[in-house]
C-alpha cells in the first residue's frame, strides 16, 4: 500500500505538473498570438515607415546628384579658366623676356651714346678753348690759311653741335623709351604676382 500511495502521489504530482505546464503553454500561446497580431501591425507600420525613409533618402540622393553635377560643371569651368590663365601667363612671360632683351639692347645703346656724348663734350671743350685762344690772337686778318682753318674748325664745331643736339635728342628718346619699358616690366611683374 505504501508503494501504491507513493505511486498515486507521483501520479498526482505528475498530473499537477502536467496541468501547470498546460496552463503555462496556453498563456505562452496566447502571448505569442497577441505578439504575432501586434507584430503584423508593427511590420506594416515599419514597412510604411521604411518606405517614407526610403523616399526621403532618394530625395536626398537626387539632391546630392544635382550638387555633384553642379560641382562637376564648376570644376570644368575652373579648369578651362586655369588653362586660359596659364596660357596667358606663358605669353606674358615670353613677352617679358622679349621686353627684357629690348631693354638690354637699349641700355647698351644708351651706354654707347653716353660714351660718345662724353667724348663730344671733351671735343667741344677743347674746341671752345681753341676758339678762345684763336680769338685772343686776333692776328688772323690777312692770314688766309688761318682763316680757312678757322672756318673749317668753326664748321666742324657747328657740325659737332648739331651732332651733339641730335645725340641729346636720341638719348632723351632712349631714356623715355627705357622708362616706358621699365614701367611695362614693373606692371607685368605686378600682374604676375597678382596671378
Q: Which domain holds residue 50?
A: 2-194
- Considering only CA atoms, which of 108, 120, 102 is closest in space to residue 166? 120
Q: What is the pLDDT at residue 108?
A: 92
**Do residues 131 and 157 make contact, with C-beta atoms less than 8 angstroms apart?**
yes
Q: What is the pLDDT along the chain (195 residues), one digit of tens a residue?
A: 556 666 776 777 777 787 778 888 888 888 777 766 666 655 667 778 888 888 888 888 899 889 988 988 998 999 999 999 999 999 999 999 999 999 999 999 999 999 998 999 999 999 888 888 877 666 655 566 766 777 888 888 899 899 999 999 999 998 999 998 889 888 888 887 765
Between CA 23 and CA 30 the distance in angstroms is 10
Between CA 89 and CA 78 the distance in angstroms is 16
State the average pLDDT for the chain: 83
**Do residues 84 and 138 make contact, with C-beta atoms less than 8 angstroms apart?**
no
pLDDT digits (tens, 9 = 90+) for 83-103: 999 999 999 999 999 999 999
Between CA 150 and CA 140 the distance in angstroms is 9
Q: What is the pLDDT at residue 107?
A: 92
Report the domain count for the chain: 1
Q: What is the pLDDT at residue 119?
A: 92
Amino acid at each position: 500500500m505504501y508503494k501504491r500511495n507513493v505511486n498515486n502521489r507521483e501520479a498526482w504530482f505528475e498530473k499537477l505538473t502536467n496541468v501547470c505546464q498546460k496552463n503555462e503553454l496556453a498563456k505562452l500561446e496566447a502571448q505569442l498570438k497577441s505578439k504575432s497580431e501586434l507584430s503584423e501591425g508593427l511590420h506594416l507600420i515599419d514597412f510604411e515607415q521604411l518606405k517614407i525613409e526610403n523616399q526621403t533618402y532618394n530625395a536626398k540622393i537626387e539632391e546630392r546628384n544635382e550638387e555633384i553635377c553642379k560641382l562637376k560643371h564648376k570644376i570644368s569651368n575652373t579648369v578651362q579658366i586655369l588653362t586660359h590663365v596659364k596660357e596667358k601667363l606663358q605669353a606674358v612671360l615670353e613677352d617679358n623676356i622679349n621686353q627684357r632683351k629690348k631693354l638690354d639692347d637699349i641700355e647698351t645703346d644708351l651706354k654707347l651714346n653716353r660714351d660718345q656724348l662724353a667724348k663730344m663734350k671733351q671735343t667741344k671743350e677743347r674746341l671752345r678753348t681753341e676758339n678762345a685762344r684763336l680769338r685772343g690772337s686776333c692776328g688772323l686778318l690777312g692770314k688766309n690759311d688761318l682763316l680757312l682753318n678757322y672756318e673749317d674748325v668753326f664748321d666742324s664745331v657747328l657740325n659737332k653741335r648739331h651732332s651733339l643736339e641730335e645725340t641729346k635728342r636720341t638719348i632723351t628718346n632712349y631714356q623715355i623709351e627705357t622708362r616706358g619699358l621699365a614701367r611695362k616690366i614693373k606692371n607685368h611683374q605686378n600682374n604676375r604676382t597678382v596671378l
